[in-house]
Each structure stands twice: as structure tokens, then as C-alpha cells.
Structure 1
Amino acid sequence: MPIITKATLADVPELNILVNSAYRGEESKKGWTSEADMLDGLRIDETMLKEYFGNEVITILKHTDNNDQITGCVYLEVKGPKLYLGMFSVSPVLQGKGVGRALLEAAEGLAKQFNCHTITMTVISTRAELINWYERRGYAFTGEIQPFHDHGRFGSPKQLIELIVMEKAVV
């Protein structure tokens, strides 16, 4: 039975592989969330992931299958009354099978535990299919647009990339 639990430092190598396979490279193209045509480089590395586990306001949830393999994950960071959701990743071969939906529901449950009344995220503005997927789950564009991170930590853009801010009230 698949299960969602908090990831631990021991999960870093497997999380690193999963996140990069979901966003970049040829493997990512097996799913519909690939950024491989927009960005070069890695989405994350083990050093960055390890840093997350040293920060008390960050939680990473993992979805595991019947063989204890990590098939999805999501980064959650408490930012005052809001819970920021990022690094949302599902194995490319399992996308469209409910893993992402289950992770979003778990994130919403955690938001309530942390007394956060809103979940916020950023999405690449040209990713219409992804934006539509979030809208079907109650997220809405706030009107705020942010530039893509130019420090290179999340990859090198092949084109101009802007991020839209989406939010959902959690009750």
C-alpha cells in the first residue's frame, strides 16, 4: 500500500535521483512535467537537499510504493501564515496515477497542523498544462509574477522564464 511520510536525511540520494528525473533530462520527458526543453543543469543536488533537512521550518514529504521506493515528494516551508510548496516531483512513469494528488492532500493536512491558512507556490508561466492541473485542485494565480532565480542553483534557463505565484486557502 503506497504511503506518504516525512522524508529523512537517509532519503537524500533517492530524492535527488527522483527530483532530477522528474524535471530534467531524457527521463523527465516520459512524464508531462519536464522542464528539460526550458532549462539545462540539475534541478537539485544532494548538498542542497541535505541543507533542507537542517532547517526546522522545512519538511519534505515522500510518497513510497509497495517496494519502499520513493515515487514522489514535495518540499514544504513555513513562511509565516503561509506554507510554501515546491520541488513537487512525481516519477515520470507514474504521473497521472494519483501520486501528485495524494501529496497535495498531505501538504494541505500539514498546512493545517502548522496553522498555515494558505499554500503558496510558483509555477513557470508558460506551463499551461501544469497551471491548469493546479487550478483544478483549487489553486489560483495571485497576479504576482516573479523572475526565475538567476543564481543558477536550480538550473540554467534556455529562454526567458517567469514564475507566477499561485495560492490556495486551506480551511
Structure 2
Amino acid sequence: MTRQDNIIVREVTIDDLKYTQDAVTVVNSAYSTNEGWTSEHEFYEGDRAGPEEIENSIQENGISCRLFFAFDIIEEGKEKLIGTLRIDPPTSGLKGHGEVRLFSILPAYQSKGVGGRLVRFALARMQELGYTDCIMRVFETRTVLINWYKKMGFEENGERLEFHDQERLRVKGTTFITLQKTF
């Protein structure tokens, strides 16, 4: 767990099932609305995550994935979920690699350092767990976001992939680039 000011970042526990709907709201407000600078609303239709995916991620934490939450401590004993980040084994199956998924910050907390804290915490935890590399996929047209990740030490590795759900794409032909950080 890391704490700075009134923000806490930590790995989830089974007790965090109570935050399932809050996590769905954080993810979908960050990705599926036009509220924040990380929105992907212009690229695809629909929500990014539902309660089942979040519940499964919490229940499977430490087994099939690692899920991290960021909280704003509103007052003693009262916290507000403001960020999520999940690490999955990559679809490519490369040993020692982990893939960032569900990285989202509530729009009201974007551009305030919360995302950087969450990423740095997850990367440190990955190193503790023996990962050698972290990858993430970003729509190639999201240059502002790609540049932010590059400031965090990620580099393009040359891999491009089609979006997995072509029917939801608003902009046909949009692809992902893969960014990678080696520890």
C-alpha cells in the first residue's frame, strides 16, 4: 500500500467486492463518456466494463490477475474509489510479461497525479512478483495518451493489433499499438 496526501493505492482484497459498482463507474466514466481526457468514446460504442468482470477480477486477484485500486480518503474511515488498474498475463503467453488492463481514473481526478501513482505502484508490485516486462495496448490515434505512457518509461515495440470487437468500433480500421516497459 502507498499513501500520499489523501490518496491511497493498494492491491484489492476479497473485501473489496463492496466496491464492484464503484469500480464499474470509474472505468466506464473514464473510457465510455466524454468527461475526461482518457475517453475512448469516439472510437467505440458501449461500456468498457461490467459488474461481472470487476467481480471476477477481485475474486481471481492473485490467481489469474492482479487488481489495484486507488482511493481518495474523504475523511477518516470513509474512502472513495477513484482509480483501477489490472495486470493480466499477456495474450501472447510470453513468460515474465504482464499486460495492463482496466487502467482508469475517475475524470474529476485526472491530471492530478493519481494515474502516475497507480501505474508506479503496479509496476513496483510487478517487479516484486518477478515480472520482467509490462505491456499495454492503446488506440494508435491516442497520441496524447501514448506520450503520457512514454513519460512513464514505456516504448513502442512495433506490434499493432486490431481491436477485438470490430462491431463496436465507430472508426473502422482503428488499431492498437503495443507499448512495453522492461524492468
Matched, 1:77 2:88: yes
Q: TM-score, normalised by structure 1?
A: 0.90
Q: TM-score, normalised by structure 2?
A: 0.84
- Given that 1:78 and 1:114 are in contact with CA atoms closer than 8 Å, whether structure 2 keeps it comes out as no
Which residue does the alignment assign to 1:11? 19
Matched, 1:162 2:175: yes
When residues 42 and 90 of structure 1 are mapped into structure 2, their CA distance, relative to the original with a 3 A threshold, is: same
- Given that 1:78 and 1:116 are in contact with CA atoms closer than 8 Å, whether structure 2 keeps it comes out as no
Which residue does the alignment assign to 1:34? 39
Which residue does the alignment assign to 2:69? 62
The answer for unaligned runs of 5 or more in structure 2 is: 1-5
CA-CA distance at 1:114 after TM superposition: 1.3
Matched, 1:148 2:139: no
When residues 37 and 151 of structure 1 are mapped into structure 2, their CA distance, relative to the original with a 3 A threshold, is: closer
Cα displacement string for residues 96-145 of structure 1 (whole angstroms, at most 9, x for unaligned residues): 10000001110111111210011111001110000010011110010000
CA-CA distance at 1:48 after TM superposition: 1.6
Which residue does the alignment assign to 1:133? 148
Which residue does the alignment assign to 2:116? 101
Aligned counterparts of 1:151 and 1:125: Cα–Cα separation in 2 = 15
Aligned ranges 1:104-123 → 2 under 5 Å = 104-123=119-138
The code of the aligned residue for 2:70 comes to H
CA-CA distance at 1:159 after TM superposition: 1.2
CA-CA distance at 1:151 after TM superposition: 7.2
**SS of alignment partner, residue 40 of structure 1:** coil
Aligned counterparts of 1:62 and 1:133: Cα–Cα separation in 2 = 20
Q: What is the total number of aligned residue pairs between the two structures?
A: 164
- Given that 1:141 and 1:167 are in contact with CA atoms closer than 8 Å, whether structure 2 keeps it comes out as yes
Aligned counterparts of 2:150 and 2:159: Cα–Cα separation in 1 = 16
